[in-house]
Structure 1
Amino acid sequence: MTESSPATPTTPAAQPDAVGVVDPMRIPGVGRARQAWHRLPVLGQAFVVLVAIDVVVRALGLFGTQLFFDIGNPLSVITAFVPHDALILLPAVLIWRRPDAVEALPLVMRGAILVALVELLNAPLRGLTSGNQLDPFVGPTVISIAATFLMAAGWVTLAIGLRELNPPKSEQSTAGLANVVAGAIALAAIGNLAGVLLLPGTDVGDARWNALLQLNSAMYVLQTVALAYLARIVVLGNGDARRPSIARTTATAAMALLAIGSFMTTVISLLALTQAAFAQSLGLGAGPIWLVIGLLTGPIAMTALVVAFGLGLADPSGTIEPAVETHQPIRS
């Protein structure tokens, strides 16, 4: 009887596809990213592309825009991209979470698209119109006024859409927190309005330009009020058990941070106007600690709100995983 030679032992190293071995020609995560891209509806893909275009345009300094990225400043890695690009991505995040968001959440999607487009086009359009040598002021200021108004409209539309998902009646503690958060943000709006009405405005040497500056400041008051309304609706939704708890908690924390930032800014501004020496002695608004607070209560908080939508803030399915059904066929 002839003995057969023993089979060569198979080890993971001998099998390129074995578990634990990475194909040297394959970048980890690319497959999942490609799959996510293919299942994302066309509208979502469009906003992802717009974010890429925005980064390139700002990096090249086109249309008077800047990326504000400095290798010597590590924090610019954050501030160069968020919340600006995160807000532009908001429609894509919503559609990634719910491919049927356009039909199922029409107001939420309209508000998100309006916010994203304003965030995308505001700076380039102001840069384009500022090139008018005869009147470099009116064009950019009018665009800024229109953009601020449209951003406020986007926040309100988003809030109305989310309000439809909220329970008819919230718990007393949730309602109280919502009022506190919205009130703190609204307080900043009241402070800004008082400044517009009571403080002497900037004189740029032209009555028409001065009026436009004052109107521009008033529009920021409107935008802050709209954000306060959105904050109240978001926090009231914290009592909706149908939506993932992590999404509700993240959104509530984001709005609370925005409220803290708004309140602190109002107090510091008031002290700077009435007790300038005292404010300077305390170092209010200056130093590393205030920089960290500003990041947490500004860019990071707003970005966290976008993340909350990705976690299911507008998805009453109650699951943490995004829906996989889509009207667009999934390509292999």
Structure 2
Amino acid sequence: MYTTVTENKMHLHYEQRTIRTCQRFVICICILVATIFFLYFLFQYQRVNSLWTPVHVWYTPEQRIKRPTYVNHDHGFCGPCPTHKLSSDAWRLIDLVQRLAPRNPFLINIGAASNYGGRYDPTYPVLTSTNSTFGALLIDPNPNPSLFSGYPNRTNIRITHDYVWTETIIPNIFERYNISKQFTILKVDIDSYECSVLESILQAGYRPQLIHTEFNPVFPPPVIFKPIYNPKVKNDWKPELWASNSPFYGCSLTALSQLLLSFDYILVEVDFWDVIYIERELVRSLGIQIPVNDQAAYEYGFLGHSCFPYCRENVKLYNNQIESAIRSTINQSNFTNYMKTILDSYAPISIKTKSKHPYEITV
């Protein structure tokens, strides 16, 4: 009898101790889970603030930091723009590189052929004014040596005459030439599928600190316009997308900004049809001033450019019919359908399939 009571007490004591142990374990688990959730939401809060709170923004041209002017000869090709109007106060790549402190001093220039042996190319000063450790891969299908003769002749600068397509850019260029995932500058100037090529590169995990490319200014913010790449047709279009009479030669500023923002790149500069994007964290850490939005950048950098009044006859920069159509329907529900009735008349035709070039147009 006594033994049974003692055993029951011991059993009860054991059960109570087990319960207390389980309770402590559950409490510890709850504390651990609560701590993890707290740290997660704290990180997300800081990340959101980091992503959406720019350090230094300009809203009006008067607030924009003035920089030394220089002559950008590349913009002289737009039309009869006099030399004294070619001055620009936009960021030069060489000035930005000096602030970035490159982690891997290397650039990729897609569309490197240029008049005067490349001297008008925006990457040229980077390769000639920095030390010789700055390497480059210069890509252009044009084999004319006079278009590359100005670039420095050194072992860490290579020239390849390849066509660049969305589906082959990674295996044929980046993997073949063993390009590092991290490098300094990616410049893309192909007058056609900049958005598609950039998306392929970034989706593959490559992260340049800075992206220099071109946009189609015929479609102002907030219009999203993109020619849709078809790997079965490629450049089999008449007229070619890059032809002087085609408004299809690239994606709009808003389309480009939306794409690059999804990979954490922020618009820093619009200089006529040229644009510069930089990794968001670098913009914050270096305190680089940025425009408040695409519209402000477009109005200052494109519409306000000193060459614009002389280049309005260039249909790659301005199209009165398209502008009027956008203005009249921008706030209407039928915007996309109406714009297609206008743009279909400009769409290049495939020589092989006789079909019109596909595109996206929306707001």
**Normalising by structure 1, what TM-score?**
0.28
Higher relative contact order, chain-length normalized (CA < 8 Å, sep 6+) = 1
Instruction: Give the number of the structure whose alpha-carbon radius of gyration is greater.
Output: 2
**Normalising by structure 2, what TM-score?**
0.26
Q: Of Structure 1 and Structure 2, which has the larger fraction of its residues in strand?
A: 2
